[in-house]
Amino acid sequence: MDKLVQAFFRTYEAATATSDFAAVGELYADTFMFAGPNAFHAVRKEDFLKVIPRMKAQYASLGLTDTRLFSVEAVDLDSRYVQAKVHWRMTICTQTGPLRNFDAFATYVLQRCDDKLCIVFQLDHQDLAAVIGDKPNTQA
């Protein structure tokens, strides 16, 4: 299962890097739960697909240049669901300083859907916009 989950998030990484928002959308269930440090809500995929380009533009305007999959730890919850703890390494380019890296963490619940995986729950463990805009360099 770990290899399947790893491949799933490599696909996610590639789709976001190339701004292939349709491919990103294919990785989510038609309706999924999203939670962060400030709120949680149910999201319809069609609404999510409308927001993704604006989110990517907002993060780019804050200097986010690259997001790489660093690690994935997967645990079967039962025969249909997998929990994946994902560590992303993000790179920021600021106008006033050198590139800086920071680590972002998210927990996903994936459902096995017709011989593939799809995200039914996503928990971001930090407010990315706040972290990108405010956090000092903590990684070399």
- Percent of the chain beyond pLDDT 70? 91
CA angle 64, 66, 68 (to 5 degrees): 130
pLDDT tens track for 14-33: 999 999 999 999 999 999 99
Q: What CATH number has the domain bearing residue 37?
A: 3.10.450.50
Element (H, E) at 99: none
Q: Is the per-residue pLDDT at 138 higher than 70? A: no
Average the pLDDT over 63-92 and give the result: 93
Token pair belonging to 115: 């011989």
With respect to residue 140, please indicate whether it lies within any of the assigned structural domains.
Answer: no
Q: Which amino acid is at 92?
A: I
With respect to residue 68, please indicate whether it lies within any of the assigned structural domains.
Answer: yes
Q: What is the pTM of this model?
A: 0.87
Q: Which amino acid is at 57?
A: A
What was the pLDDT predicted at 139?
A: 36
Q: Is the per-residue pLDDT at 114 higher than 50? A: yes
What was the pLDDT predicted at 97?
A: 65
- Residue whose C-alpha is closest to residue 89's, from 75, 77, 100: 100
With respect to residue 30, please indicate whether it lies within any of the assigned structural domains.
Answer: yes
With respect to residue 95, please indicate whether it lies within any of the assigned structural domains.
Answer: yes
Q: How confident is the model at residue 81 (pLDDT cuts 50, 70, 90)?
A: very high
Average the pLDDT over 45-73 and give the result: 91
Q: What is the mean pLDDT of the chain?
A: 88
With respect to residue 18, please indicate whether it lies within any of the assigned structural domains.
Answer: yes
Comparison of pLDDT for 1 and 135, the residue scoring more: 1
With respect to residue 72, please indicate whether it lies within any of the assigned structural domains.
Answer: yes
With respect to residue 139, please indicate whether it lies within any of the assigned structural domains.
Answer: no
Number of domains, the chain: 1
With respect to residue 35, please indicate whether it lies within any of the assigned structural domains.
Answer: yes
Token pair belonging to 54: 């604006």
Q: Which amino acid is at 122?
A: Q
- The whole domain housing 87 covers 2-134
Comparison of pLDDT for 132 and 63, the residue scoring more: 63
Q: Is the per-residue pLDDT at 68 higher than 80? A: yes
